[in-house]
Structure 1
Amino acid sequence: MNNFYIKCLKSEKINSGSMYGQFLINALRPGQGITVGNLLRRVLLSDLGGTTITAVRIAGVRDEFSTIPGVREDILEILLNLKGIVLKNKTTDPQFGRLKVKGPAVVTASSIQLSSDLEIVNPNHYIATISTSNLLEIELKFEYGTGYKLAGQTFCKKSQDFLQIDAVFMPVQKVDFKIENVYDNTDFLTERLFLDVWTNGSISPEDAISSASQFIIDLFSSLMENKLTEEVNELENENTSMPKNPHTNIAIEELHLSVRAYNCLKRAQINTIGDLLEYSPEKLQELKNFGRKSADEVFTTLKNKLGIVLK
């Protein structure tokens, strides 16, 4: 793997601010293509974070089933349109924006007033149409997260006066990969991996690959530095708490005692050598039907087989 590298073959903007990139990872050993491809795909789609609108408060509206006089769309349509706005965020803190438009007008994402930390990727995105001179006033809440969260999972009690929106934080929309075998002049087989990445425009495909790779590195670094250390410490603690006698957990069946002696021990719930060592010679002979002859047999077997002498 001395020639292992990753190369960007193509990077371009497509419709509505979305971006596409194609990457080549070369000089992989046979079988590594599917491993690396699957790992990058899963991380790109599920572990990269983004910012989206998570709640709105519309003046004069109390629920999503209302209508606004003079506005062509109902509240549900407006909420769906707002979910299509793509944002770049310089911070992970919650942010707020405001939209205030007097009709008649066509309302797009460019009408939203934002803080300096936020930027709209698709400012021409359609929100609503006001056909009269009415005023449309909306307050929007922006949050950073990963994956997909239902409206009830994303908000605190302080936001009860907001209409909650299902949040899709994922900046990567789609990932495909394919693997090709490569033979050199000596018929030595390697693999190359082609990775196709589509994003919503809030992050470039190159940055998405870089962030995913760093996430994987940090994940396994944490695993190696912390988890293995904790496991070793736990094993050491377990070892120190274990009885010093190595024969403790050996079943008494391994002693191959006579039927009489064996049955007497089992009736007394003596199942292991550890159980047996809890009995003194005098206490053993007090067991029902366990006479001097059976006791001598047990003492002799422990001494000859395991080197244990009962005093």
Structure 2
Amino acid sequence: MIWHEFQRPSQVQSDDEERSDSFGRFLAQPFERGWGTTVGNALRRALLSSIPGGAITAVKIEGADHEFSAVPGVVEDVTDIILNLKKIPFRVHGQEPIFMSLDAQGPGEVTAGQLEGSHAVEVIDPNVHIATLSADGELQMTVRVAPGRGYIQAEENQTADLDVGFIPVDSAHSPVRKANFRVEMARLGRMTNYERLVIEVWTNGTIRPEEAVSQAAQLVQGHLDIYSRLAVVEDVETPAAADRQPREESILDTSIDSLELSIRSMNCLKNANIRTLRDLVSRSERQMVEIRNFGEKSLKEVREKLETLGLGFGMNLDI
């Protein structure tokens, strides 16, 4: 029997007719039989569980001691207010929690657009309803918005630095609201036993669907990289490798300026306090894509530059 190399897609197509800031449909073909499901399932699980996002993790409402309190002049009780706050989509720039405040006078509706704070946080949908105030009603509150991943219970959001009066709340950080995939038949020449993978992604608008899929793919790939190196583990302890160590150490202390990167990529690295190649290779690809404005294009550029030096992301520098 003649063995043939696996057929794999060379690119991903986007359905531009229905594409928006919160929905995307992506098609790739041809996959060998069974591989559409394998890839689709891995991406879907990563999309639903592992894409980071911002959410409110604690609330302080003047006149409310706990979440079952009622605030005079406010139609909703504190429990309902907290439920409404959880619906607000936030885009957080950076890795630190940010505090936002709200001071509203009645009568009228209080919405997410009335929250004020740092430029490091964006309220994507300012029309989200928070509360309704009567003529003599007043609502003063402070919320803590933090980046995170997945679902975090209120107990975990009760941090030591949280001031008295704050109510920790459970937080759902995933910006992906829904992710589906399906596998269809695809033709390659006269052969019809190939597969087309169709992935559909809905987000809350804080991240574009294509960015979410790209991050999911990088996460899956990053977890598989260690297995691809199993076949060469025995070659590590060789004299040649030992001879290379002093040279590699000297390269690692070289400035990132030696990579001659694009201005955008260089600025992103320096803003993240990455100064040398040692700083760079000690980070994983997942950590790199979390840097503000550092997208897949920049990641690819830096990866290719490192490969020319025999380096890569996620290197264990303690060995």
Gaps of 5+ in 1: 234-311
Q: 1:46 to 1:206 in 2, by over 3 A?
A: same
- The one-letter code of the counterpart of 1:214 is Q
Q: Pick one of 93, 98, 102 that aligns with 1:99.
A: 102
1:9 and 2:15 equivalent?
yes
CA contact (8 A) 1:4 1:28 kept: no
- The one-letter code of the counterpart of 2:167 is L
1:206 and 2:210 equivalent?
yes
CA distance in 1, matches of 2:158, 2:226: 30
- The one-letter code of the counterpart of 2:223 is L
Q: 1:199 to 1:3 in 2, by over 3 A?
A: closer
Q: Deviations over 1:208-247 (max 9, x none)?
A: 11111122222223454599849x88xxxxxxxxxxxxxx
- The one-letter code of the counterpart of 2:194 is T
CA distance in 2, matches of 1:137, 1:228: 61
Give the percent of matched residue pairs that are identical in Structure 1 and Structure 2. 36
Q: CA shift at 1:95, angstroms?
A: 0.6
Q: 1:40 to 1:147 in 2, by over 3 A?
A: same
Which residue is equivalent to 2:265? none
TM-score (norm: length of structure 1): 0.68
Q: 1:188 to 1:126 in 2, by over 3 A?
A: closer
SS of residue matched to 1:215: helix
Q: CA shift at 1:166, angstroms?
A: 1.1
Structure 1 runs of 4+ aligned residues shifted over 3 Å read 10-13, 222-230
- The one-letter code of the counterpart of 2:207 is I
5 Å-filtered alignment, 1:38-187, equals 38-159=41-162, 161-187=165-191
1:22 and 2:28 equivalent?
no
CA distance in 2, matches of 1:227, 1:89: 41
Q: 1:228 to 1:170 in 2, by over 3 A?
A: farther
Report how many aligned residue pairs link the two structures: 229
SS of residue matched to 2:79: helix
CA distance in 2, matches of 1:163, 1:2: 51
CA contact (8 A) 1:100 1:135 kept: yes
5 Å-filtered alignment, 1:217-232, equals 217-224=221-228, 229=233
Gaps of 5+ in 2: 1-6, 238-319
Which residue is equivalent to 2:297? none
SS of residue matched to 2:191: coil
- The one-letter code of the counterpart of 1:216 is V
CA distance in 2, matches of 1:226, 1:121: 44
- The one-letter code of the counterpart of 1:212 is A
CA contact (8 A) 2:183 2:196 kept: yes
CA contact (8 A) 2:30 2:195 kept: yes
CA contact (8 A) 1:51 1:89 kept: yes
1:191 and 2:195 equivalent?
yes
1:216 and 2:236 equivalent?
no
CA distance in 2, matches of 1:227, 1:119: 46
- The one-letter code of the counterpart of 1:5 is Q
Q: 1:228 to 1:165 in 2, by over 3 A?
A: farther
Instruction: Name the larger-Rg structure.
Output: 1
